[in-house]
Amino acid sequence: MKLMCGNANKPLAQAIADSLDAPLSNVEIEAFADGELFVRIDENMRGEDVFIIQSTSKPANDNLMELLICMDALTRASARRITAVIPYFGYARQDRKTGGRTPITAKLVANLIAGAGAHRVLTLDLHAGQIQGFFDIPTDNLFATPVIENDIRRNYDAKDLMIVSPDVGGVVRARSLAGRLGADIAIVDKRRPRPGVAEVMNIIGDVEGRRCIIFDDIIDSGGTLCNAAAALKQRGAKEVAAYITHGVLSGKAVSRIADSEMTELVVTDSIDVTEKLAGAKNVRALSVAPLLAEAIRRIANDESVSKLFD
């Protein structure tokens, strides 16, 4: 087995390598003056089972191209099997036509990944489970829920706990976490009058006097989360916190969270948030490295990964 990574999330790749007690192979990635990328893998890959760890987070297009070019280099270097380990699969929110003459970019990206040479994909909390079907190669979509559940158990009293989905699309995810914790769920009825603007219409469920934990897959601008938190407080929630798998955290998201009614936001390290969280008042990160490392170990040994979905 060989492990390698691009530039998207080196701390996570190193943590995965440490968990597996295996080194990261050396890869040189250089950019030409016009922005084109060049990759050279510094060791023999012939006949190897290679896992390339690369989130397609910001800069999404550069990180995606790094992943594609690395896989092309691996194919041409006669790697036996290539698994694209994509902790955060960018472009996932473009998973359907939202109007006339619009693309389904998540499908395009899936085609590019398979076309560049991936034999398998390992990912985490896809925005919509159906995106697995965009790949015609085996795709394991892990859930961060067990990691999040453990952290909630360590830090929150189960009494009065309520798991809140910030929109209708996240209900299945919220129900799964609530089921594991034995908590109730509430649902925020969110509308997007235009891209980037989120409005809360209603809250389904009685949140008065409850400790609410909002659970979602992505925090981008923070609009969805801060609006949901304000609406929950307005309806009498005693406390509001949030757990979100992928900390995209664009623009002023971190300071927006600091100024919000939330006690804290917890994200995972599926995206490298080290710089964004430096000095953050109420945002922290949990590591999904042990979870991804265990999945990689099982795939490399042809063992079942389904236990990781329990």
Shortest approach of ligand R5P to residue 173 CB, angstroms? 9
Least distance (Å) between residue 296 CB and ligand R5P = 26
* 190 catalytic per annotation: yes
Binding site for ligand R5P (CB under 6 A): 93, 166-167, 169-170, 198, 216-225
Which one, 66 or 217, has the nearer CB to ligand R5P? 217
Instruction: Pick between residue 39 and residue 254 the one whose CB is nearest to ligand R5P.
Output: 254
State which residue, 80 or 252, has the beta carbon closest to ligand R5P: 252
175, 181, 194: which is closest to 151 by C-alpha?
Answer: 181
The one catalytic residue among 2, 58, 97, 190 = 190
- The Cα 109–Cα 103 span in angstroms is 11
Q: Considering the complex, what minimum distance in angstroms separates the CB of residue 246 from ligand R5P?
A: 9
Whose Cβ is closer to ligand R5P: residue 11's or residue 223's?
223
Instruction: Rank residues 85 and 249 by Cβ distance to ligand R5P and give the closer one.
Output: 249
Task: Report, in Å, the least distance between residue 194 CB and ligand R5P.
Answer: 12
**Contact assessment for residue 65 and residue 37, using Cβ atoms and an 8 Å cutoff:** yes
Give the C-alpha separation, 140 to 84, whole Å.
11
Least distance CB 127 / ligand R5P (angstroms) = 6
Task: Report, in Å, the least distance between residue 274 CB and ligand R5P.
Answer: 20
Residue closer to ligand R5P (CB basis): 93 or 119: 93
CA atoms in the 13 A half-sphere facing the CB of 25? 22
The answer to whether the beta carbons of residues 14 and 24 sit under 8 Å apart is yes
Give the residue numbers annotated as catalytic, written as ranges.
190
